[in-house]
Structure 1
Amino acid sequence: MAPKEIELKTAPFDPRFPNTNQTLYCYQSYIDFHRCEKVKGPGAEVCAYFKRCYQSMCPNAWVEKWDTQREQDIKLD
């Protein structure tokens, strides 16, 4: 049986963040994802774009830290 081919993608270019330092792009995508889910509901397909972006751009340690802060009701922005 042939192994299933996996398609890998990264976040597309965003003209709001033209510099090589993509920290703000990472952070903004994380914030946008959670704002989108708050408005559209958990698992909303329209929010998946932001999730793919932050998962691609952000270090896992940052995401874990932000998730912990959100669970503790610490405002991120």
Structure 2
Amino acid sequence: MAEDIKAKLRNYRTAPFDTRFPNTNQTRNCWSNYLDFHRCQKALNAKGVKNAPCDWYKRVYKSLCPIAWVQKWDDQRGEGNFPGKI
């Protein structure tokens, strides 16, 4: 049992420290990584390249952002009224 927990902790990945966002409030970090993921995805899709390099941004924003925010932003993108520049 203890080895199983140790293995899970060893493989656990969360957002690393980002010097652009040194404060405790990570809202801007969440927002920036969400935008960066979709910008990266858009750029690589335009070139016809796989999106694997973009997965890092996705992992970071998934660990920082509340699920409700991400769902709202995804809905806004689908409706065409998303406030960010992608």
Shared fold, TM over 0.5? yes
Q: Under a length normalisation based on structure 1, what TM-score does the superposition of the two structures give?
A: 0.87
Structure 2: distance between partners of 1:35 and 1:76: 14
Q: Under a length normalisation based on structure 2, what TM-score does the superposition of the two structures give?
A: 0.78
Candidates 30, 35, 38, aligned match of 1:34: 38
Following superposition, the deviation at residue 43 of structure 1 comes to 5.3
| Aligned twin of 1:15 | 19
Structure 1: distance between partners of 2:13 and 2:82: 30
Q: Which runs of 5+ in 2 are unaligned?
A: none
Identity %: 49
| Aligned twin of 2:61 | 54
Following superposition, the deviation at residue 53 of structure 1 comes to 0.5
Look up the SS of the partner of 1:31 in the other structure: helix
Taking only aligned residues, the RMSD between alpha carbons, in angstroms, comes to: 1.7
Q: Does 1:25 align with 2:29?
A: yes
Larger radius of gyration: 2
Total equivalences in the alignment: 74
Higher helix share: 2
